[in-house]
Structure 1
Amino acid sequence: MDTEEKGFSRTDRFESICKEIHDSWGKKDFLIQFTLTQFEWRKVRDMYMETYKEDILQLCQKIDSPFSSLMLNPFERDADVAREALYHSDTVNYKALIEIFTCRKSSHVLLIIQAYLAKYRKHLDHEIVSIEPPHPYQKILMAFSASHKAHYDDISQHIAKCDAKRLFQTGEGKLGAIDEAVVLEIFSKRSIAQLKLTFFFYKHIYGHSYTSFLKNGHFGEFEHTVRFVAKCISSPPKYYAKALYECLKGTTIDDGGLVRIIVSRSDVDMDEIEKLFEKKYGMELKNVICEVIQEENHRDFLVALVNKVSTWKSASY
């Protein structure tokens, strides 16, 4: 029975949660107990501010609680992810940027760009273009930026088949490297959903994926970059399952990458990612997290988030 049917409204529920958080502040695991979607966490943040005149997001940030990431609007969080990808270390985290531009709706990407400008007083596009030294990822990211701004909604099987044939003719259908100009043109004029359909028809027509002929290692940086991007577009859950494994079992543990991925996909397709992870690697994701992550605060947060995904109801942003 829904809480409203019991005479306990959603407002009452959020007020109760806020009081419990306020009374339990600082106690171990006091936030983990709440099974809330990100949408609900933002409602709790609003209610907490209204009731106690404090921003629970800032309080969480003061104690370095990863729960702060759940209380941001998704586009604000992705703006922060983009900033960190650009400036957090000596090398740009292009994978994080590609995730933003290929695994988000166009309307979401435009909000990210606006949020980035509002918070950091700089245009995200300009930041990406100015990266030194130059890298093929920059060209592809700018192509996607143009595509998102065009905001194509319709998906055409005819266009997908034509693009698939064009990619073949300017790629494995000839000797030498793939035609960079053709790839960038297609990426800049097609939505992510349209590109996904193009890669589907490529496999249907030619009997193998677009990325398969790029595996042999005889190509340059642009081809390897295109291969990564195409994999990300073709099956985000498969991409994220592999990315999570690399975060956990790579040469170094990428705690930030784990939080970024699990938080961003928790309200999207985390169930499917978990299943693919277990199928591919023969281990449950939460068990690997417990085995690998030593920092208790982040480990408990990640496990709690993975555990709660299956119990959450869908929530719109």
Structure 2
Amino acid sequence: MAATILPMSSTHGLENECKEIHDSSGSLNHLIPSLARRTQLERQQIRDTYKAIYREDLISLLQRYEAAISPMKSAAFSLWMLDSHERDAVIAREALDEQGDDANYKALVEIFVGRKSDHIHLMKQAYHGRFRRHLDQDIINIEPPHPYQKILVALATSHKAHHADVSQHIAKCDARRLYETGEGGSGAIEAVVLETLSKRSIQQLKLTLSSYKHIYGHDYTKSLKRGNSGELEHALKMVVKCICNPPNYYAKTLYLSIKGGTIDKCCLERVLMSRADVDMDEIQRVFRKKYWKEVKDVICESIPSGAYRDFLVALATKNNIN
């Protein structure tokens, strides 16, 4: 049974949808896809209206539902209904709890690279409010030390210090400095890269990396392949790819999360939820070009049928339906 997607323009429509959720007696399978297709504003409206009528946070209802039916023990449904900065706070905490695996540090990099500074500020507030901890300090205290840790400290600093405007002149100067300390041969690449990451906005960094390619005829990652950057090399490649071409980076990450031998549901859910309201249509185009398949088809091939798969497919095709 397919759920009818009600318009969010009226209080009556909101109340009807909340009533349908409440009266479902926990059998939310047919409602999950419609919730997946909602915008962030619509999800917040549904959540607020549900709490006003039934005196319960919809998140609590979804968590009980997840505990009862999710074959993969996923919290994806309730995470999706959170504001994006709240969701990122939860993802960040989970990544730090599981520190030691590169995949978890990548989740943190994706947040700091893919979000604007005002979002990062709200995310840090939500992190402190929910966990009574400071995210920046938790990153500094990562043990044992890890190459991603230094990058994350720099990226966190950049959201506090950078200027909003981008400068072509600064981009060219930074590109030359990266070259001279890298393949140019003067060394000190780690210090220069981390300083650049900490002082520039993501847009400025993107312009710098574009200038590097224009001036020297190849991507900055080519210089990293020469092995001059030590243990930081692998982490830097990932960061550069995430900054320079997000759709390509996320298309490859999605594919590997499903087809990498063992399904990485945390990665799959994280990418779909974080990009569904941003650039999922472009990611789908890149995915189709690289792998000759639709994202939704690969999900259906790899995930058992049910509410969880329907939810993931709805996220993957969200922009195609609205």
Q: Could you tell me how far apart the structure 2 residues matched to 1:89 and 1:252 are?
A: 20
* Residue in 1 that maps onto 2:42: 40
User: Which sections of structure 2, spanning at least 5 residues, go unmatched?
Assistant: 1-5, 67-74
Query: Of 53, 56, 68, which aligns to 2:55?
Result: 53
SS in 1 for 2:321: coil
Contact 2:225 2:233 in 1 (8 A): no
1:60/1:66 contact within 8 Å kept: no
**Which residue of 1 is the match for residue 129 of structure 2?**
118
Q: Report Cα offsets for 1:224-243 as digits up to 9, x if no partner.
A: 21111111111111111111
Q: 1:125 to 1:20 in 2, by over 3 A?
A: same
**In 2 relative to 1, CA 295–91 (structure 1 residues): closer, same or farther, beyond 3 Å?**
farther
Pairwise CA distance, 1:29:
2.1
Q: Does structure 1 conserve the Cα–Cα contact (< 8 Å) formed by 2:257 and 2:265?
A: yes
1:14-68 CA-to-partner distances (Å, cap 9, x unmatched) read 1121122222243332332454212211110100111111211110011216321
Residues 40, 297 of structure 1: CA spacing in aligned structure 2 closer, same or farther, 3 A cutoff? same
Which letter maps to 2:156? S
1:248-303, Cα deviation, whole Å (9 max, x unpaired): 11132111111111011111000000110110111110000011123733211101
Query: Does the CA contact (< 8 Å) of 1:107 and 1:151 recur in 2?
Result: no
SS in 2 for 1:24: coil
Structure 2 partner of 1:315 = none
Q: Distance in 1 between matches of 2:99 and 2:243?
A: 26
Question: Does residue 1:20 correspond to 2:38, yes or no?
Answer: no
Checking the alignment, whether the CA contact within 8 Å between 2:86 and 2:127 is kept in structure 1 is yes
The two structures, once aligned, show a CA RMSD in angstroms of: 2.0
Q: 1:168 to 1:219 in 2, by over 3 A?
A: closer
CA distance in 2, matches of 1:9, 1:156: 42
The residue type equivalent to 2:221 in the other structure is: T
**Which residue pairs with 2:152 in the alignment?**
141
3-state SS in 2 of match to 1:201: helix
TM-score by length of 1: 0.91
Equivalent pair of 1:214/1:223 in contact (CA under 8 Å): yes
Q: Which residue of 2 aligns with 1:188?
A: 198
Q: Distance in 1 between matches of 2:111 and 2:152?
A: 10
Any conservation in 1 of the 2:209–2:220 contact (CA below 8 Å)?
yes
Percentage identity across aligned positions?
A: 55
The SS at the match of 2:218 is coil
1:62 alignment partner, one of 37, 61, 64 = 64
> What is residue 231 of structure 2 aligned with on the other side?
221
2:166 counterpart of 1:165? no
Match of 1:266 among 250, 273, 276: 276
Distance 1:159 1:273 in 2: 30
**Bigger CA drift: 13-22 or 236-245?**
13-22
* Contact 1:160-1:195 at 8 Å conserved across structures: yes
Distance in 2 of aligned mates of 1:135 and 1:198: 25
Report the alpha carbon displacement of residue 178 of structure 1 after superposing the two structures with TM: 5.8
- Aligned partners of 1:167 and 1:183 also within 8 Å: yes
- C-alpha separation between the residues in 2 aligned to 1:295 and 1:170? 52
In the other structure, the counterpart of 2:138 is 127
1:216 to 1:170, Cα distance in 2 relative to 1, 3 A:
closer
Q: What letter corresponds to residue 114 of structure 2 in structure 1?
A: C
Aligned residues: 306
In the alignment, residue 80 of structure 2 is paired with which amino acid? L
Decide whether the 8 Å contact of 2:183 with 2:228 is kept in 1. Answer: no
Which amino acid in structure 2 is aligned with residue 94 of structure 1? Y
Unpaired runs of at least 5, structure 1: 313-317
d(CA) in 2 for partners of 1:223, 1:33: 42
Shift in Å, 1:219? 5.2
Alpha-carbon deviation of 1:122?
1.1
Residue identity in the other structure for 2:307 = N
Residue 217 of structure 1 and its aligned partner are, at CA, apart by: 5.5
Q: Give yes or no for contact 2:209–2:244 (8 Å, CA) kept in 1.
A: yes
Shift in CA distance, 23/101, structure 1 to aligned 2, threshold 3 Å? same
Contact 1:214/1:227 (<8 A) preserved? yes
- Tell me the residue number matched to 2:69: none
